[in-house]
Structure 1
Amino acid sequence: MKKIFYIVLDGLGDLPLEELGGKTPLESADTPFMDSLAKEGSQGIVYPVREGVAPESDIAVISLLGYSAEEVYTGRGPLECFAEGLEVRDGDLALRVNFATCEEGSWKILDRRVGRNLTTEEAAQLAKEINDKVKLEGAEFIFKNTIGHRGVLLIQKEGELSGNITNTDPAYKKEGVFGVALESFEPFLKEAEPIEGFSEDEKARLSAQLLNEFTKKSREVLEASEINKKRREEGKLLANVILSRDAGDCLPKFKPIKESTGLNFGCFVQMPVEKGIALLSGMEVVDVPLASGDLPKDYKLWAELAIEKIKDFDGLYIHIKGPDEPAHDGNFLKKKEIIELIDKYFFGNLLSKINKEDFAICTTADHSTVCKVKAHTSDPVPLLIFAQNFKDNTESFGESQAKRGSLGKLLGRELIYKLVELAKAS
């Protein structure tokens, strides 16, 4: 059996753009190394969760690892809290949060990510101030920054709390336990409240009340912080409010991936949500350096580490964040540029230093992040699998070619089993 490289490029999928001559960012990008795999491999399309669903990364990754998100998902909050080393007990309230910028004197949101320039060091100091100075009535909490503007919040009390509450972040709505990104929304922070069907649930009402209390009290601390005084002097946006979303009140229970696939997988991940899923599924998380800001250097290093670490596993799941962020900003030229950098420095270094006939190599995405709408959509993502003796004779990797590929149409939870099947057969 061949060893597996299972490579997921976050937000890779897109739609054709007039500005790119009717091509997608992937199709317009110069990607000779991925194209070389396409010429000798097979393509198809993947609906990461199911048709009609615009997935967030959490449920998409859960699906791509072979699980039914509908059956196991309990919210993004528990996953990220667990990834950050917090003990999430049944009945705790766990949330994913962002530092954001509100107009001073109102709850109008000016920027949901503080201009994407809040440093991890600044966020750590703000988190310390929140933990030191905010006190909740009848409950304790742990607030922890993660990467940049991102963070997690865990609220605990005697007795159980409930994840059945709405988001304060207006860019996402709660549909059951799933978080759904909205293509348009009013830019005002929302008060948390019990979701539909739980208005009389005392645990949900108390949970919403505690989150609203935290939001108000933490804003007072942030407004007074020396960090924000300095940012104001530097002409930067203030990190003066916390947006919360995707509450959950227990950890999901995954069947170990080694049991479901028969293989020992390691993984390279950058973000807390992917790390949480990986750990809970029984994958070994390989210690990789965080993004340095020098993308060629980062992608080259990841390729070199992949070549070294694949010796220890049957397969490596490699999740690269790159294309997603510029797509959320509507910057299709930047998305194209990052795809080209991934091809040149990750795939170029990987393929030049392995005998690719010894491997099954899969490249796909966790969701489409469409530049035109600056959001995740329900469009399928392209899929490329290189495994000896399975060829489409296509010329390049891209959405239009993928739709005509011999792999056809797959659901995300089917993909890992298809990949294992091809790795064993080739």
Structure 2
Amino acid sequence: MKYIILLGDGMADEPISELGGRTPLEAARTPNMDALARAGETGMVRTVPEGYHPGSDVANLTVFGYDPRTCYSGRSPLEAASMGIELGPADVAFRLNLVCLTPHYGKLYMEDFSAGHISTAEARELIAMLEEELGGGPFEFHAGVSYRHLMVWRGGRDRMQFTPPHDLTGQSVEKDLPRGEGAEELIHLMTSSQLLLKNHPVNVRREKARQVPANSIWLWGHGKAPRMATLQERYNLRGAVVAAVDLIKGIGVYAGLDIIEVPGATGYLDTNYRGKAEYAVEALKTRDFVYLHVEAPDEAAHGGMLDEKIRAIENFDREVVGPVREGLEALGPHRILLQPDHATPVRKKTHTAQPVPYVLFDSTGGNLSPSGAAGYNEAAALRTGFKVEEGWRLFERLIRG
């Protein structure tokens, strides 16, 4: 038996007036996901436990089959694992976004949480400069992909509160700077970064080209290294992760999975959808399990781009779900879990914690009975009456039937 999770990040949404009260999933043309929904068990699953922020870290841990209440210690330690950065027991990792802040009436506003989706090459220049100017002591700056990077505070503080930058788009940031013990040192780093980045050649070139500059860092998502049993230890599974996002790769590292790098996988709207599908099917020829993650729908929703979100969902269906279904047929008996990690409503431009639609499909039928869903979307899944409150248990059902 082969197992695969197909995850369209942030695909779920809320009814939108421009779509006649439909969601993007309802409006998009998704014949492959609809076919899975009709043939499998379809329902709603809660991926964010009560009291947790609806971040991709918590939600994806849940989809991977981990109860966040027992292992979650923060987003950044997971990203550090993906980047090969070891954390000691007293070390704290922080997600570092390159962002664009804009002054307005004496206040600073979050213009763009991704600095215009700055290129990785440009970002690496900026992070190298920050490491040279602000690193060297307890603080380390590590380059990631595009706007997503990492800072490590060796022997640092971890009792602080942060606001994710994508929750602040178009808003004043003064009330959402780091808060708590050690916050002053981080605010000093953020302020210092603004002075250093303002006239950096990368930003001078970007502004001349009328591109959004990366004029500040934003620190958030902190935590210490978690303790997690691998999927080999828990289920005797050998598997892999196909993703372009460090967070997902990092969870995969802690889960004991191989990380598959796909050429052209960007974590954005222009990602190599079909390449991910092809590499996932190839990985399953020698492994039991693959976690295939596509970030594009979430990125479109964070940008408030309705048409792009619908297009990303359709690309996911046509270029990922379709080829994976076809490839699995040649590999024999298989099970598929299809779902988002969380909802990212286009109009809210941020994550929400409501349950999301899932499909659990078994090519052999197994113990699953089709739930009668008309297709794959929030309304159809809700009508089936199936609901999983502890989302991490879906993984167990995927593996054990």
Structure 1 and Structure 2 fold alike (TM over 0.5): yes
Q: Which residue of 2 aligns with 1:411?
A: 390
Map 1:136-151 → 2, pairs under 5 A: 139-151=137-149
Map 1:279-290 → 2, pairs under 5 A: 279-290=253-264
Q: Which residue of 1 aligns with 2:38?
A: 39
Find out whether 1:165 has 2:163 as its counterpart. Answer: no
Map 1:312-331 → 2, pairs under 5 A: 312-331=286-305
Q: Is the contact made by 1:108 and 1:189 (CA closer than 8 Å) also made in structure 2?
A: no
The offset of 1:163, in angstroms, is: 1.0
Query: Please, which runs of 5 or more residues in structure 2 have no aligned partner?
Result: none
The offset of 1:119, in angstroms, is: 1.1
The offset of 1:372, in angstroms, is: 2.1
User: Residue 337 and residue 52 in structure 1: after superposition, are their counterparts in 2 closer, same or farther (change >3 A)?
Assistant: farther
Q: Number of matched residues?
A: 395
- Cα RMSD of the aligned pairs, angstroms, is 2.5
Pick the aligned partner of 1:232 from 207, 214, 226: 207
Q: Which residue of 2 aligns with 1:198?
A: none
User: Residue 68 and residue 256 in structure 1: after superposition, are their counterparts in 2 closer, same or farther (change >3 A)?
Assistant: same
Q: Deviations over 1:349-396 (max 9, x none)?
A: 222333176211110111011112111112211001111323223331
User: Residue 185 and residue 411 in structure 1: after superposition, are their counterparts in 2 closer, same or farther (change >3 A)?
Assistant: farther
3-state SS of 1:403 partner? helix
Normalised by the size of structure 1, how large is the TM-score?
Answer: 0.85
Q: Which residue of 1 aligns with 2:150?
A: 152
The offset of 1:278, in angstroms, is: 1.0
Q: Which residue of 2 aligns with 1:221?
A: 196
3-state SS of 1:129 partner? helix
3-state SS of 2:124 partner? helix
Q: Which residue of 1 aligns with 2:284?
A: 310
Q: Which residue of 2 aligns with 1:176?
A: none
3-state SS of 2:161 partner? coil
Map 1:164-203 → 2, pairs under 5 A: 164-167=159-162, 169=163, 171=165, 181=167, 186-188=172-174, 190-194=176-180
Q: Is the contact made by 1:170 and 1:188 (CA closer than 8 Å) also made in structure 2?
A: no
The offset of 1:293, in angstroms, is: 8.9
Larger mean Cα displacement after TM superposition, 108-117 or 211-220? 108-117
The offset of 1:153, in angstroms, is: 0.6
The offset of 1:341, in angstroms, is: 1.0
Q: Deviations over 1:262-320 (max 9, x none)?
A: 32222112111111111012122122234259968811111211221101211111111
Q: Which residue of 2 aligns with 1:270?
A: 244
3-state SS of 1:267 partner? strand
Q: Is the contact made by 2:40 and 2:370 (CA closer than 8 Å) also made in structure 1?
A: yes
User: Residue 184 and residue 405 in structure 1: after superposition, are their counterparts in 2 closer, same or farther (change >3 A)?
Assistant: farther
Q: Is the contact made by 1:369 and 1:376 (CA closer than 8 Å) also made in structure 2?
A: yes
Map 1:370-385 → 2, pairs under 5 A: 370-385=345-360
User: Residue 94 and residue 18 in structure 1: after superposition, are their counterparts in 2 closer, same or farther (change >3 A)?
Assistant: same
Q: Is the contact made by 1:37 and 1:386 (CA closer than 8 Å) also made in structure 2?
A: yes
3-state SS of 2:217 partner? strand
Q: Is the contact made by 1:41 and 1:391 (CA closer than 8 Å) also made in structure 2?
A: yes
Letter in 2 for 1:286: I
Q: Is the contact made by 1:100 and 1:109 (CA closer than 8 Å) also made in structure 2?
A: no
Once residues 311 and 62 of structure 2 are traced to their aligned partners in structure 1, the CA distance between those partners, rounded to angstroms, is 28
Q: Which residue of 2 aligns with 1:394?
A: 373
Q: Is the contact made by 1:170 and 1:186 (CA closer than 8 Å) also made in structure 2?
A: no
Find out whether 1:120 has 2:94 as its counterpart. Answer: no
Letter in 2 for 1:161: G
